[in-house]
């Protein structure tokens, strides 16, 4: 999310007759529950993304260490820090708490065409004018996939980060569910989900790492997932399992991407916070006509973080 990058691999989700083994409990009788299937990696396979898939919060073999079901009426600031200010990547929005709301068990981040003046980033006093506002949340807790305890973080050999999300429509929208640590990218970054509002059937995964501040060493790590149906009309579950030798990315319980080798092992033992945000414009778009920007809303049903030995 912090740096621009070139798009790389492309994976296509097509229609199929594959059946997914359900979990024993359901959040809603109208929603199909699903489980992770490592045998169904989508490269060369086929799959129809289920509409409004959901899973139970209790998963065999995993320990739930952080969750927000957004059951209240305001952001739980014991769990989340609200980012206030501009950001990076030549993004066009000013992040503020007023664009984040919770109602009916759903957290909404709404991008707006709104002229404001504020700090260029939370790390400077320099002021800047913005034409858009939006929202960004970062977890107060740090997480680390590590062989042993890590000071200042919840650590385990496997970290599983999951969220149930409905992506926003709207030209120029850049929603993201990701994790990173400071100073970037020395603690790494894992992009579980990034998308473009004008591409409703597509999302991307990626990761970053470097040994020096603001210098990324990872190249050509982006993967592109393209669904046979829009990811903006229903909720879908986006996950990553972070462990020593690989990053495994799942969509609705199906393995869609695996990253290993390269600098992936360097992420092991690093400390990262979890982030949800909706950016407007920025380097993620190779070409962007700012006159066509249409603000949208990112909807999040829940966020859950698990550990496993």
Task: Return the CATH number at 41.
Answer: 2.60.120.200
pLDDT digits (tens, 9 = 90+) for 166-223: 999 999 999 999 999 999 999 999 999 999 999 999 999 999 999 999 999 999 999 9
Is residue 2 one of the residues assigned to a domain? Answer: no
- Mean pLDDT of all residues in the chain? 88
Q: What is the mean pLDDT of residues 111-125?
A: 97
- Band (pLDDT 50/70/90 cuts) for residue 47 is low
Q: Quick check: 29 pLDDT over 90? A: no
Q: Quick check: 38 pLDDT over 60? A: no
Is residue 104 one of the residues assigned to a domain? Answer: no
Q: Quick check: 26 pLDDT over 50? A: no
Is residue 284 one of the residues assigned to a domain? Answer: yes
- Band (pLDDT 50/70/90 cuts) for residue 15 is very low
Is residue 1 one of the residues assigned to a domain? Answer: no
Q: What share of the chain is helix, strand, coil (3-state, %, to 5)?
A: 5, 45, 55
pLDDT digits (tens, 9 = 90+) for 126-159: 999 999 999 999 999 999 999 999 999 999 999 9
Q: What is the mean pLDDT of residues 280-298?
A: 97
Q: Quick check: 11 pLDDT over 70? A: no
Is residue 92 one of the residues assigned to a domain? Answer: no
pLDDT value of position 176: 98
pLDDT value of position 1: 72
Based on the structure, what is the number of domains in the chain? 1
Which 3 state secondary structure label does DSSP give 97?
helix
DSSP secondary structure, 143-201, as one string: EEE-SS--TTSEEESEEEEEEEEEPPPSTTEEEEEEEE-SSTTTT-EEEEEE--TT-TT
| Neighbour count for residue 45 (Cβ, 10 Å) | 17
Q: Which domain holds residue 196?
A: 9-70+135-308
- Band (pLDDT 50/70/90 cuts) for residue 3 is very low
- Band (pLDDT 50/70/90 cuts) for residue 50 is confident
Q: Quick check: 292 pLDDT over 70? A: yes
Which 3 state secondary structure label does DSSP give 85?
strand
pLDDT digits (tens, 9 = 90+) for 237-274: 999 999 999 999 999 999 999 999 999 999 999 999 99
Is residue 80 one of the residues assigned to a domain? Answer: no
Q: Quick check: 236 pLDDT over 70? A: yes
Q: Quick check: 12 pLDDT over 60? A: no
pLDDT value of position 2: 58
Is residue 197 one of the residues assigned to a domain? Answer: yes
pLDDT value of position 27: 30
**Which residues are CB-neighbours of 77 under 8 A, at least 6 positions away?**
none
- Band (pLDDT 50/70/90 cuts) for residue 49 is confident
Tell me the pTM: 0.89
d(CA 225, CA 238): 12
Is residue 110 one of the residues assigned to a domain? Answer: no
């Amino acid at each position: 999310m912090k740096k621009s990058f070139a798009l790389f691999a492309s994976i296509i989700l097509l229609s199929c007759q594959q059946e997914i083994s359900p979990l024993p409990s359901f959040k809603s009788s109208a929603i199909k529950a699903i489980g992770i299937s490592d045998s169904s990696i989508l490269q060369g396979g086929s799959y129809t993304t289920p509409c409004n898939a959901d899973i139970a919060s209790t998963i065999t073999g995993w320990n739930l260490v952080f969750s927000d079901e957004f059951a209240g009426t305001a952001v739980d600031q014991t769990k989340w820090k609200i980012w206030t200010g501009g950001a990076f990547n030549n993004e066009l929005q000013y992040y503020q708490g007023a664009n984040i709301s919770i109602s009916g068990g759903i957290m909404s981040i709404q991008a707006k065409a709104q002229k404001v003046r504020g700090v260029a980033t939370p790390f400077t006093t320099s002021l800047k004018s913005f034409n858009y506002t939006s929202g960004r949340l970062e977890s107060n807790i740090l997480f680390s996939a590590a062989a042993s305890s890590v000071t200042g973080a919840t650590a385990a050999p496997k970290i599983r980060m999951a969220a149930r999300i409905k992506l926003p429509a709207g030209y120029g929208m850049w929603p993201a569910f990701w994790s990173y640590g400071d100073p970037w990218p020395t603690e790494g970054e894992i992009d579980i989900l990034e998308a473009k509002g004008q591409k409703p059937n597509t999302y991307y995964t990626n990761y970053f790492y470097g040994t020096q501040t603001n210098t990324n060493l990872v190249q050509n790590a982006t993967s592109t997932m393209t669904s046979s149906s829009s990811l903006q009309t229903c909720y879908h579950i986006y996950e990553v399992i972070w462990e020593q030798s690989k990053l495994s990315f799942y969509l609705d319980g199906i393995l869609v991407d695996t990253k290993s080798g390269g600098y992936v092992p360097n992420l092991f033992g690093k400390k990262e916070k979890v982030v949800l945000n909706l950016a407007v414009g920025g380097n993620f778009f190779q070409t962007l006509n700012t006159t066509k920007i249409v603000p949208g809303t990112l909807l999040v049903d829940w966020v859950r973080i698990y550990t496993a030995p």
